Structure 1
Amino acid sequence: MNYEEALRYLDEHASYEKTGRVESPSLDNISRFMDLMANPQLNYPVIHVTGTNGKGSTTQIITKLLMAHGLQVGTYTSPHLESLTERITRDGEQIDQQEFADCVAAIADIEVLAGVRPSYFDIMTAAAFRYFADSAVDVAVIEVGMLGRWDATNVVKSDVAVITNIALDHMEFAGPTLQHIAHEKVGISKANSSLVIGDDNPELFPIWNESLHAKLIRRGEDFELNENQLAVGGRSLSVRTSRASYSDIHLPLHGIHQGSNASIALAA
């Protein structure tokens, strides 16, 4: 299979991104594929990121922080701007088109043998997990596609889960209130992991506290953005975490919201 054939194979499968429709929420198909692929997503530590806004930027900032510490980092995001290969990177470099096609070909073979029909996003997610395992990454940073609990990425066993914030989105799938949406997003937290909460809405505290199996790291208690000023080429930040205080941080991104994203990334 070459890259063009991989794209055609993907286009033959159901895509929420194109149709706006999803099947009944279930991880059965992606879990079945992962089992048949020997669960590549269990071969490396994972930081799993969700949230209504800022999850993409937070994912990229976490990636840069880990790379700065000399780690080889696999990153999975969605959607893409120009090429599908943007979604799967290693140390910031996109997956090679033929390597991508090879990963997709392996998934296509499993579909034939197992008789399980994956979605477009299932295929992309499985391809990313396989690529990261083949590349022997030190850690993977995985951005949720939609909500969290029933997202295909939620077959990982994350060491750290991140919820950037909660606002009203995807209500047709989660429910009409912030509490419904928070409940779906907190579903990415795992036993004996850490859960970083960037949203400080007190109405949602009871939902976070339900995650008794995870160590909570909350904005305003365990980390705080103390300074977020406009600076030449970006923002100047001061961030406190439970482990250290960081001052005069230069963030080469514009927008006051990026300071908040960076503080969450540091906490993670």
Structure 2
Amino acid sequence: MANRYDFDPKTYLQQGAWADVKLGLHRTEELLERLGNPQDSLKIVHVAGTNGKGSTSAFIAGILQAAGYTTGLFTSPYILRFNERIQIDRVDISDEDLLEVAADVRDQALLMDEAPTAFELLTAAALHYFSQKRCDVVVLEVGLGGRLDSTNVVTPLLSVITPIALDHVAVLGDTVEKIAYEKAGIIKSGVDVLSYPQHSDAAAVIEKRAAELGCTVRTPRFSLVDAHAEGLTQVFSYDGIEDVHLRLAGVYQPCNAAMAVEAARILRGKGFDIPDSAIKNGLEATTWPARFEVVAHRPTTIVDGGHNEQGARVLAKSLQEYFPEGGVTFVMSVLRDKD
């Protein structure tokens, strides 16, 4: 009999190209059922959106960890190493644990009539791992869209929607309304929704979907955000949370942080013990690569992964804030599916 561990889990969980995306939930549902439905044992915060969902997810996870909860975090894509995509308390899954959960997933996937996609395999592996490690709470970032994304097999405690803009238009649609419809697909009956203050067209779609499913929508009041640069970091205050020294420098990060504050307050209402001190400490501890990240000095070198018009605008705004004299040199690389 062949050794069930005789394979490379990273190669297995990344099989096929990004272009091979096959949206739909039935394969993930079957695979998770074969694994014993690990998602049903987890308390989940589900995060969709076009921009900012990685940083917002990281902030929420940071707050929950600071409050003493064992916190799973699932994100994509990875920046430096594959294991980043599955973390507990901001520690990447080990190669040994990755092989173990990938073997469990592979055993079940081989029994299926229709082979799961790479992202479906990865989603199942993450949920299986978080359940095995008995996470108190999991922050689950959507891969693509929302409605038909493989993460959308969970019933979360809270659905979070970050800024919506045009991206992945070939898959999700060519208008903000069409994309908002896909993102709003993560909204579940009776589950609270936290939404970024969206463009009116996107907001109308989200509010309509929430009303149909009997959900309350909360939106942060960005008029209460106060932030100023200190060197290449910034000091942030929002609605009673004062003088937070954010390690994430982009001018858009205070809004992501305010989203995380509101998420923490909603979770408080669901029985989580999250004092204001944990909110502050969690925000201050949060790092996230390739989001206006200073990677070197002399010369100051910044890496940013913005890859759509909205991302480009906030990058430009950040550069104007931190380098008002100009003189910025760009080294830029763009995939052919981007505008």
Structures share fold, TM-score greater than 0.5: yes
Match of 1:67 in 2: 65
Match of 2:251 in 1: 256
Shift of 1:112: 2.3
Name the stretch that deviates more: 228-237 or 40-49: 228-237
Match of 1:214 in 2: 215
Q: Deviations over 1:142-168 (max 9, x none)?
A: 111111111111111111111110111
Cα distance in 1 for partners of 2:141, 2:6 equals: 24
Cα distance in 1 for partners of 2:203, 2:113 equals: 43
Q: Is 1:265 the counterpart of 2:263 in the alignment? A: no
Q: 1:108 to 1:260 in 2, by over 3 A?
A: same
Q: TM-score, normalised to structure 1's length?
A: 0.90
Aligned residues of 2:225 and 2:254 also touching (Cα < 8 A): no
Q: Secondary structure at the match of 1:190?
A: coil
Aligned residues of 1:158 and 1:189 also touching (Cα < 8 A): no
Aligned residues of 1:52 and 1:169 also touching (Cα < 8 A): yes
Match of 1:184 in 2: 182
Aligned residues of 2:43 and 2:156 also touching (Cα < 8 A): yes
Q: 1:215 is aligned with what amino acid?
A: T
Shift of 1:62: 0.8
| Pairing partner for 1:77 from 75, 78, 87 | 75
Cα distance in 2 for partners of 1:59, 1:101 equals: 25
Q: Which protein has the bigger strand share?
A: 1
Q: Is 1:156 the counterpart of 2:151 in the alignment? A: no
Q: Secondary structure at the match of 1:152?
A: coil
Q: 1:28 is aligned with what amino acid?
A: H
Q: Is 1:226 the counterpart of 2:225 in the alignment? A: yes
Aligned residues of 1:76 and 1:141 also touching (Cα < 8 A): yes
Shift of 1:224: 4.9
Cα distance in 1 for partners of 2:105, 2:225 equals: 47
Match of 2:274 in 1: none
Identity %: 33
Shift of 1:3: 8.4
Correspondences of 1:20-169 after superposition (within 5 Å): 20-23=19-22, 25-169=23-167
Q: TM-score, normalised to structure 2's length?
A: 0.72
Cα distance in 1 for partners of 2:223, 2:107 equals: 48
Gaps of 5+ in 2: 264-339
Q: Secondary structure at the match of 2:13?
A: helix
Cα distance in 2 for partners of 1:88, 1:73 equals: 11
Match of 2:195 in 1: 197
Cα distance in 1 for partners of 2:232, 2:148 equals: 39
Cα distance in 1 for partners of 2:156, 2:202 equals: 22
Higher Rg of the two aligned structures: 2
Match of 1:5 in 2: 8
Q: Deviations over 1:160-188 (max 9, x none)?
A: 11111011111112221111111100111
Gaps of 5+ in 1: none
Aligned residues of 2:48 and 2:141 also touching (Cα < 8 A): yes
The count of aligned residue pairs is: 257
Aligned residues of 2:197 and 2:203 also touching (Cα < 8 A): no
Aligned residues of 1:48 and 1:143 also touching (Cα < 8 A): yes
